[in-house]
């Protein structure tokens, strides 16, 4: 259900897209809204280090803000620079990741920290290509660090951004599957020339998608671009294009079993025996699949004879 009145739906046009298509100027009202209303989050405060931005972006990829903040603060207190993390064994990173989920991210962060310490003199690179060359750093994270840590002018696109752009600019109720060849030029087409305003626009579109233009029940009455939103202007037509795939149910899934085996490994100071792992889940086939995938991902090491533990050894 859309929370909106349907008055004054005339688009306000004064920007041009990459193929010459006229786009409404959504940047100006969004930046003003963002500067007045944005949440006070640690990574938005002046002086927040680029290393902190990199850690926060990786943590935020699959985990909610409220769960990330305390873990991020603890992480940066323990490892204030990439080299501090690189000097610790990967098992410490996986333990400190705790219950943020998708613990491969902890290993990726450890590998990236090692590369930054060894190849970049312990300074997080600014260049998108240099960031992309770090192990485990994808296109979104590289762009987010260049923009949010260094203030450079690049489009940054996550799922919230894609939803806002699909609605406001394309008149569709939701985004289709991610497609960087389309998503990045579309976001680039709304960025102001000024670097600072461009960075604020990226953050503002993301914030709008997280707080106002949410997937269900967007709060259009509180939206700073309601007067130029194409989907609203069209009367909120149903989204009938291809949809992003839905996430599978967690309960009973292999992901849940992986998480339980990981918790067992994290909690133990010594290698965990197959019999102990057998206690965490009744279905042997699922358990074996979970353990095999953890071994494949480098999140566990060992065998049935010597037991299993986190990489880099148990504490």
Active site residues per annotation = 57
Kindly tell me which residue out of 27, 142, 223, 299 binds ligand SF4, with binding defined by CB under 6 A.
223
Does 190 interact with ligand SF4 (rule: CB under 6 A)?
no
Q: CB of residue 140 vs ligand SF4: minimum separation in angstroms? A: 21
Does 258 interact with ligand SF4 (rule: CB under 6 A)?
no
Does 212 interact with ligand SF4 (rule: CB under 6 A)?
yes
Residue number, 234 or 292, with CB nearest to ligand SF4: 234
Does 232 interact with ligand SF4 (rule: CB under 6 A)?
yes
* Residue listed under structure tokens 């992003």: 244
Helix (H), strand (E), coil (C) string for 185-247: HHHHCCCCCCHHHHHHHHHHHHHHHHHCCCCCCCCHHHCCCHHHCHHHHCCCCCCCCCCCCCC
Does 265 interact with ligand SF4 (rule: CB under 6 A)?
no
- Collapsing DSSP to helix, strand or coil, 307 comes out as strand
CB 271 within 8 A of CB 300: no
Does 164 interact with ligand SF4 (rule: CB under 6 A)?
yes
Q: How far apart are the first and last CA of the chain?
A: 51
287 CA to centre of own chain: 28
Kindly tell me which residue out of 109, 115, 165, 168 binds ligand SF4, with binding defined by CB under 6 A.
168
Number of residues that bind ligand SF4 (CB under 6 A): 14
Neighbours of 25 (CB within 10 A): 16
Output phi, psi for 127, to 5 deg.
-75, 135
Q: CB of residue 207 vs ligand SF4: minimum separation in angstroms? A: 12
Q: Where along the sequence are the contacts to ligand SF4 (CB under 6 A)?
A: 4, 164, 167-168, 212-213, 218, 220, 223, 225-226, 229, 231-232
């Amino acid at each position: 259900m859309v929370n909106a009145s349907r008055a004054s739906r005339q688009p306000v046009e004064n920007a041009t897209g990459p193929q010459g298509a006229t786009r409404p100027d959504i940047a100006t009202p969004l930046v003003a809204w963002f500067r007045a209303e944005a949440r006070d989050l640690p990574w938005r405060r002046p002086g927040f280090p680029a290393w902190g931005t990199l850690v926060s972006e990786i943590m935020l990829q699959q985990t909610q803000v409220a769960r990330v903040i305390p873990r991020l603060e603890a992480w940066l207190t323990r490892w204030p620079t990439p080299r501090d993390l690189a000097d610790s064994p990967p098992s410490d990173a996986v333990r400190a990741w705790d219950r943020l989920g998708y613990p491969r991210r902890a290993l990726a962060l450890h590998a990236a920290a090692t590369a930054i310490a060894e190849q970049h003199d312990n300074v997080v690179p600014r260049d998108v290509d240099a960031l992309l060359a770090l192990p485990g750093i994808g296109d979104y994270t590289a762009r987010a660090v260049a923009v949010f840590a260094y203030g450079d002018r690049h489009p940054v696109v996550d799922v919230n951004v894609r939803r806002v752009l699909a609605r406001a600019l394309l008149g569709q109720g939701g985004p289709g599957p991610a497609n960087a060849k389309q998503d990045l030029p579309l976001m680039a087409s709304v960025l102001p020339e000024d670097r600072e305003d461009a960075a604020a626009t990226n953050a503002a579109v993301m914030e709008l998608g997280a707080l106002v233009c949410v997937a269900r029940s967007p709060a259009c009455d509180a939206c700073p671009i309601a007067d130029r939103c194409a989907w609203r202007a069209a009367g909120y037509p149903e989204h009938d294009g291809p949809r992003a795939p839905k996430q599978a149910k967690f309960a009973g899934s292999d992901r849940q079993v992986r998480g339980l085996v990981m918790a067992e490994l994290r909690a133990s100071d010594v290698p965990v025996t197959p019999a102990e792992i057998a206690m965490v889940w009744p279905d042997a086939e699922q358990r074996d699949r979970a353990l095999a995938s953890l071994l494949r991902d480098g999140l566990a090491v060992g065998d049935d004879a010597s037991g299993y533990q986190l990489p880099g050894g148990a504490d």
